[in-house]
């Protein structure tokens, strides 16, 4: 039996026609992940394929990233905004490291681009690349990470 995908195709076309491109990487590198700030919906973070840098986009001025977070030494695999703080973003990558960034309040009030260095620290150094990271929805200082061999729950 053949499935009818006409409705699905129409929905995709409709969404593409009504979408707005708010950011394109300078070198047209394909973007791999996106994360919307759970506490402040003006901020979206994204990173490109095999990139060591996260771009934080302020939707009030989306053309140029408001911040570029670049503490990783190898490609980033995952990132997650804290559901408890509008300024905390955690990322994990091929460098076996999970990093927590603190994006200061002064920077986000105006929407202007501010140059680093950013306040950040290594949350976990694993023996393997870290593939996924998520903040606990209920515990402000608890983050779950999985590398290629284990699931880690880290209390900050």
pLDDT tens, position by position, 3-51: 544 434 344 445 556 677 788 888 888 899 999 999 999 999 999 999 9
Domains and CATH numbers, the chain: 6-155 (2.130.10.10)
Report pTM.
0.80
Confidence at residue 5, expressed as pLDDT on a 0 to 100 scale: 44
Averaged pLDDT, 104-130: 71
SS (H, E, C) the chain: CCCCCHHHHHHHHHHHHHCCCCCCCCCCCCEEEEEECCCCCCEEEEEECCCCCEEEEECCCCCCCCEEECCCCCCEEEEEECCCCCCEEEEEECCCEEEEEECCHHHHHHCCCCCCCCEEEEEEECCCCEEEEEECCCCCCEEEEEECCCEEEEEC
Please tell me the least confidently modeled range out of 18-27, 32-41, 71-80, 141-150.
Answer: 18-27
């Amino acid at each position: 039996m053949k499935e009818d995908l006409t409705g699905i195709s129409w929905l995709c076309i409709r969404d593409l026609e009504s979408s707005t491109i708010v950011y394109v990487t300078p070198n047209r590198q394909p973007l791999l992940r996106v994360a919307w700030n759970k506490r402040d919906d003006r901020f979206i973070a994204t990173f490109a394929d095999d990139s060591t840098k996260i771009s934080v986009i302020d939707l009030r001025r989306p053309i140029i990233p408001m911040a570029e977070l670049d503490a990783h030494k190898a490609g980033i695999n995952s990132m997650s905004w804290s559901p408890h703080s509008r300024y905390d973003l955690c990322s994990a990558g091929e460098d076996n490291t999970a990093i927590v960034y603190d994006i200061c309040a002064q920077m986000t009030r105006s929407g202007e681009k501010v140059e680093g260095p950013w306040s950040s620290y290594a949350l976990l150094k694993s023996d393997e690349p870290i593939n996924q990271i998520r903040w606990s929805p209920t515990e402000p200082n608890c983050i779950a990470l999985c590398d290629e061999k284990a699931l880690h729950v880290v209390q900050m």
